Amino acid sequence: MLRFDIITIFPEFFRETFDYGIIRRARAAGLVEISAHDLRRWTRDKHRQVDDRPFGGGDGMILKPEPIFEAVEELTKREPSDTNYTQGVRVVLLSPQGRQFTQALAEELAACRQVVLICGRYEGVDERVSEALVTDEISIGDYVLSGGEPAALVVVDAVTRLLPGALGSETSAVHESFSEGLLDYPHYTRPPDFRGMKVPEILFSGHHAEIARWRAERALEKTKRNRPDLLERAQREDKD
Ligand code: SAM
């Protein structure tokens, strides 16, 4: 069982998000448990303040370190004096400055027993969180979101569908985009002719080996066209 703990100032954002499709089924089957926690729970002042002005001047507000440290310590049962988490625990700060979220990283997280996701807001999060509290700083892409919540959603979704049993069939995730270094092959369903656009003949042939070869070629072609960087990386890794 993998447990996600999401730390956010907008827990309501997640109220219904995990009630659909694969994630709903994975929760019902006890493969994953997902909780969204209000960061204000770990404030101690009357106004439940989670942010403050930046030292050195500048625009906007910064999420304060104290409630975030206390939230993570309570949720992971880690003493403030500990320098490491117990095995299988990852504490992630979602940030455009993080390393890029990939299928490989999703696979790493899927092997954990607890993943804590810290959602930033405003101008970001006090740097001491990234320096001394988290195990990973993760970005979902080279653009800036208003908050970490959509990024947390992306991570929970990509990781949950990799949990054994989540997709119904153990092999379903094996041929998906990125799992084998390439994009997925093209899929077609009924009708065989839609507005003059015909499904490739080979798919009706019943020759499984030929179909597999055709799919591999199309996957390669599409990867070349849309994501040449994936092929270059695969070639570099081959050389190494
Ligand atoms: N000032 C920050 C910067 O330029 O790097 C941007 C802060 S952003 C407006 C607020 C929060 O949204 C961040 O703290 C982070 O949690 C989240 N966020 C924004 N873009 C993200 C991305 N690409 N991946 C993951 N989280 C992101």
Ligand 1 atom closest to 97 (CA): 5
Calculate what percentage of the chain has a pLDDT beyond 70. Answer: 98
Q: Whats the size of the chain, residue-wise?
A: 240
Ligand 1 centre distance from Cα of residue 45 (Å) = 26
Helix, strand or coil, per DSSP, at residue 223: helix
Report pLDDT digits (tens) over 26-63.
Answer: 999 999 999 999 999 999 999 999 999 999 999 999 99
Separation of CA 193 from chain center: 37
43-52, 112-121, 194-203, 229-238: which range is least confident on average?
229-238
| The pLDDT of residue 237 | 82
> To 5 degrees, how large is the angle CA 113–CA 68–CA 100?
60
Q: Which domains does the chain possess?
A: 2-160 (3.40.1280.10), 193-239 (no CATH)
For ligand 1, atom 19, which residue shows the shortest CA distance? 145
210: confidence class by pLDDT, cuts 50, 70, 90: very high
> To 5 degrees, how large is the angle CA 3–CA 5–CA 8?
160
The mean per-residue pLDDT over the stretch 123-140 comes to: 98
For ligand 1, atom 1, which residue shows the shortest CA distance? 123
Ligand 1 centre distance from Cα of residue 95 (Å) = 5
| The pLDDT of residue 169 | 64
